[in-house]
């Protein structure tokens, strides 16, 4: 036991990341890489509770560092919402909205492409989850018009749309769903964990009641941190204050992300605000990359033409190779890593997701050539 | 508007902490200062979701970095518990236990010195909070024997003790409460946010069902991150899995602190594990400092002799000065800061809290001399 402990303790003495400096195509990570400003802020505010030096009882009202301006002014404008707050992440934002608007036994209506945490958050509240199906292989599209009959049938307490989903990178017609939500007068959550910070998304223009984003997924932040925007009319429900402590929001347990991830979100924000203007280039880069991989026999799933950097491929050729090599499914991870590329989850070869967001065309060209070389090496 | 935005954006371009390098006596911060190892880990794993490189579906099972060994082996041994997990912080740990064990309308029994988040977490679940009173001025002691009659009267679903509390730094008889909890067969939460990582605390020895700690408060970690330890028998209740996703804990929404604060907690752990052996020195340092400040006319509140580095003083002399100087209550903050000392919350002069945990005797001697000098300057 003692010896085992010593070994475990030793593992903590040099915590090194193995994928540093590689071309990063990992969809979870490409939107969360820190800016230089965020890296500096990380060191500056690394010590526990150091952002709370001048707190007067409410995290979002701290003026030094300038959390108040960021949360009260910059975020609402960026998100096209009336009121914004900071959360531990997108999933925690979903939970707090569900927990505020619905009661155990209530139903909610979500798209079939929803993140797993949508279901788990609902389960934590005790809700029934009804799903609007997708169109199945190969595009897995969600037609938001199908929300209407299911609203009539299940009278859900709220509806949620994942925009885009994290499996196929599909962008359903969020604005049309805004009209439907208004028609049936049902609160509408837009989960934009893969949108906010990558592309322009306006809650107001879409007609949603809530918009959710993820700092570590799409806003160049350390993990975890999320943002939640809402219409003014929901402020008193979701951001209701404690009966005992009048300046503490119940759903935030007083304050949410009281530490470095918030500082990196703030430090990266000027850059993130600017980068969404280049979304068209991101989309054309993704489409070109996808077309090149399809030439190798890969099949891109999800919408075509694709409108997001998150791409899902079926890769039967790679799967065939994995069945006959010693490393099994890990051969692909190893081959790519030797070439300085990090993307598909280690072990996967049959199908996997890639994101072109953080790599430039030259790097992506090298990735395409690398896939070619790997296929030909084992053919 | 545009101009205001520009100004707000500019504030984000240089995020600097004003209290860097000062002698730190701020009770929220003295136990959360990073080790060099944690600072390195912060940079290494700064990018969003970088600890998830080798995740196979469960944060606490990741082996690279060695989260699994840390959570499954090192933490339970350190805490004297059967099962441990990682949370967003101590308050989030309290909420998840309350949410798992009690239903809206149920009662819980807590000490009157509890942190405000104990009440807010209970409010989020919809619980009635019954308080075991303290002895009032000047010691504000909680006699845990008073839990027994209140258990009989209110039949609470769980009891909670704050050990020590964050207001006076009192250490009530947690072990005696363990006997009472066993006698009445009531789950017992020990909130050790100011204990775990500073001093030796064993859940098993105390006889609690749950132990809660705070990384950013007392374990040399970036904020926010917490730990929750429990008896094996509670694992299926508090760490119950999703019906739909069998490897995802509902109360953690799949995973909790998926980012840098966890890495700093791990990187600092070998140091933290060692530093608790020097707790006696911390206590004698705090007692000496307190005695010296009392010689200046300050009144130490809370238990005497004091057994924790968190000290609360009534300082009527400083308050008298604040009433006649231009800076009002801020004069003290300013005077101390000019001398390189950061401690009492800016604006406070009537009473304030200090922690001697991070300063050595020489630094504390300088602090004592500084208080003397300030008093004599304005006398």
pLDDT exceeds 70 at position A295: yes
Q: Which residue of B has its CA nearest to A91?
A: B253
pLDDT exceeds 80 at position B4: no
> Lowest mean pLDDT: which of B18-22, B70-74, B145-149, B359-363?
B18-22
Residue with tokens 């084992």: A378
Q: What Rg value do the Cα atoms of chain B yield, rounded? A: 22
Show which of residues 175-204 on chain B sit within 8 Å of chain A, judged by CB atoms.
Answer: none
pLDDT at A1: 60
Sign of CA dihedral A21, A27, A29, A35: positive
E-strand spans in chain A?
Answer: 23-24, 83-87, 107-111, 128-132, 158-162, 188-191, 210-214, 226-230, 299-301, 310-314, 341-342, 351-355
Given pLDDT bands bounded at 50, 70 and 90, which one contains residue B321?
very high
> Is the CB of B99 less than 8 angstroms away from the CB of A124?
yes
pLDDT at B14: 86
pLDDT at A3: 73
In chain B, what percentage of residues exceed pLDDT 90?
97
Given pLDDT bands bounded at 50, 70 and 90, which one contains residue B245?
very high
Q: Order of strands, edge to edge, in the sheet holding B107-111?
A: B83-87, B226-230, B210-214, B188-191, B158-162, B107-111, B128-132
Which residues are bridge partners to A160 per DSSP?
A110, A189
Distance CA B236, CA B295 (A): 54
Burial class (CB in 10 A: 0-12, 13-18, 19+), B292: middle
Structural tokens at position B315? 């300082």
> Is the CB of A17 less than 8 angstroms away from the CB of B45?
yes
> Is the CB of B17 less than 8 angstroms away from the CB of A273?
no
Show which of residues 31-60 on chain A sit within 8 Å of chain B, judged by CB atoms.
Answer: 31-34, 37-54
Given pLDDT bands bounded at 50, 70 and 90, which one contains residue A2?
low
- pTM value > 0.90: yes
Cα dist. B7→A74, B73, B150, B165, B169 in Å?
10, 49, 55, 41, 42
pLDDT exceeds 70 at position B110: yes
CA angle centred on B349, ends B348 and B352, rounded to 5°: 70
Q: Order of strands, edge to edge, in the sheet holding B351-355?
A: B299-301, B310-314, B351-355
> Is the CB of B74 less than 8 angstroms away from the CB of A9?
yes
Indicate the helix (H) or strand (E) that contains B261.
Answer: helix B260-275
Distance of residue A340 Cα from the nearest chain B Cα, in angstroms: 15
Top CATH class, B36-275: alpha beta
Mutate to test the interface with B, among A8, A9, A10, A15 (most CBs of B within 10 A): A15
Mean pLDDT, rounded, of chain A:
97
Provide φ and ψ at B67, rounded to 5°. Answer: -65, -40
Q: Are B363 and B40 contacting, i.e. CB atoms less than 8 angstroms apart?
A: no
In chain A, what percentage of residues exceed pLDDT 70?
99
Which pairing describes strands A158-162 and B341-342: parallel, antiparallel, or unpaired?
unpaired
Provide φ and ψ at A48, rounded to 5°. Answer: -55, 135
Other Cβ atoms closer than 10 A to B277? 10
φ/ψ region of A337 (left if φ > 0, alpha if ψ in -120 to 50, else beta) reads alpha
- By the CB < 8 Å criterion, does A358 face chain B? no
Given pLDDT bands bounded at 50, 70 and 90, which one contains residue B373?
very high
- By the CB < 8 Å criterion, does A79 face chain B? no
> Is the CB of B269 less than 8 angstroms away from the CB of A12?
yes
- By the CB < 8 Å criterion, does B328 face chain A? no
CA angle centred on B281, ends B278 and B284, rounded to 5°: 150
Q: Which of A46, A121, A123 sits opposite B34 (nearest CB)?
A: A46
pLDDT at B1: 60
> Is the CB of B73 less than 8 angstroms away from the CB of A4?
yes
> Is the CB of B32 less than 8 angstroms away from the CB of A45?
no
pLDDT (tens digit per residue) in B261-281: 999 999 999 999 999 999 999
The topology under which CATH files domain B2-33+277-378 is 3.90.1150
Residue with tokens 């902490």: B17
Other Cβ atoms closer than 10 A to B213? 31
- By the CB < 8 Å criterion, does B285 face chain A? no
In chain A, what percentage of residues exceed pLDDT 90?
97
> Number of A:B CB contacts under 8 A?
276
SS3 B108: strand
pLDDT (tens digit per residue) in B180-230: 999 999 999 999 999 999 999 999 999 999 999 999 999 999 999 999 999
Q: What Rg value do the Cα atoms of chain A yield, rounded? A: 22
Distance of CA A243 to the CA centre of its chain: 33
Given pLDDT bands bounded at 50, 70 and 90, which one contains residue B2?
low
Which pairing describes strands A128-132 and A210-214: parallel, antiparallel, or unpaired?
unpaired
pLDDT at A4: 75
> Is the CB of A253 less than 8 angstroms away from the CB of B37?
no
Distance CA A351, CA B330 (A): 62
Q: Which of B17, B66, B224 sits opposite A259 (nearest CB)?
A: B224
pLDDT (tens digit per residue) in A148-170: 999 999 999 999 999 999 999 99
Report domain extents, chain B.
2-33+277-378, 36-275
Mean pLDDT of A99-105: 98
Crossing angle of helices B279-295 and B361-378, in 10° steps, is 20
* Helices and strands counted in chain B (H then E): 16, 12
Distance CA A116, CA A102 (A): 19
Q: Which residue of A has its CA nearest to B41?
A: A15
Distance CA B317, CA B107 (A): 43
pLDDT exceeds 90 at position A5: no
Distance of residue A102 Cα from the nearest chain B Cα, in angstroms: 13
pLDDT at A379: 86
In sequence order, what are the residues at sequence separation of 6 or more whose Cβ sits closer than 8 angstroms to the Cβ of residue B366? B23, B339, B341
> Is the CB of B44 less than 8 angstroms away from the CB of A15?
yes
Given pLDDT bands bounded at 50, 70 and 90, which one contains residue A113?
very high
Indicate the helix (H) or strand (E) that contains B366.
Answer: helix B361-378
pLDDT at A90: 98
Q: Which residue of A has its CA nearest to B118?
A: A253
Provide φ and ψ at A311, rounded to 5°. Answer: -125, 140
Mean pLDDT of A314-321: 97
How many alpha carbons fall within 13 Å on the CB side of residue B343?
30
DSSP state string for A151-183: HHHH--SEEEEESS-TTT-----HHHHHHHHHH
């Amino acid at each position: 036991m003692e010896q085992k402990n010593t070994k475990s303790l030793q593992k903590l003495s040099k915590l090194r990341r193995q994928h540093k400096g590689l071309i990063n195509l990992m969809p979870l990570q490409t939107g969360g890489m820190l800016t230089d400003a965020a890296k500096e802020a990380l060191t500056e505010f690394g010590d526990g509770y150091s952002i709370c030096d001048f707190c007067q009882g409410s995290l979002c009202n701290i003026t030094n560092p300038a959390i108040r301006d960021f949360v009260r002014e910059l975020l609402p404008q960026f998100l096209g919402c009336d009121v914004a707050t900071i959360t531990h992440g997108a999933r925690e934002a979903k939970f707090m909205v569900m927990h505020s608007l619905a009661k155990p036994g209530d139903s909610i209506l979500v798209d079939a492409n929803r993140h797993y945490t949508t279901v788990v958050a609902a389960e934590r509240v005790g809700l029934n989850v009804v799903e609007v199906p997708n169109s199945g292989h190969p595009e897995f599209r969600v037609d938001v018009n199908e929300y209407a009959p299911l609203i009539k049938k299940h009278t859900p307490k709220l509806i949620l749309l994942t925009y885009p989903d994290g499996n196929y990178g599909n962008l359903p017609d969020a604005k049309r769903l805004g009209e439907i939500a208004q028609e049936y007068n049902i609160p509408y959550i837009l989960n934009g964990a893969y949108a906010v910070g990558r592309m322009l998304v306006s809650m107001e223009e879409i007609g949603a009641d809530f918009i959710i984003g993820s700092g570590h997924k799409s806003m160049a932040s350390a993990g975890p941190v999320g943002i939640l925007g809402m219409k003014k009319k929901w402020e008193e429900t979701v951001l209701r204050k404690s009966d005992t402590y009048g300046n503490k929001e119940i759903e935030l347990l007083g304050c949410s992300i009281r530490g470095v991830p918030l500082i990196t979100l703030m430090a990266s924000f000027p850059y993130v605000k600017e980068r969404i203007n280049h979304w068209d280039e991101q989309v054309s880069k993704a489409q070109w990359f996808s077309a090149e991989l399809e030439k190798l026999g890969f099949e891109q799933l999800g919408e075509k033409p694709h409108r997001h950097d998150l791409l899902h491929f079926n890769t039967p050729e790679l799967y065939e190779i994995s069945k006959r090599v010693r490393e099994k499914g890990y051969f692909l991870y190893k081959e790519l890593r030797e070439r300085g590329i990090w993307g598909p989850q280690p072990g996967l070869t049959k199908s996997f997701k890639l994101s072109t967001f953080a790599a430039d065309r030259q790097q992506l060209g090298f990735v395409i050539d690398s896939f070619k070389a790997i296929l030909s090496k084992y053919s």
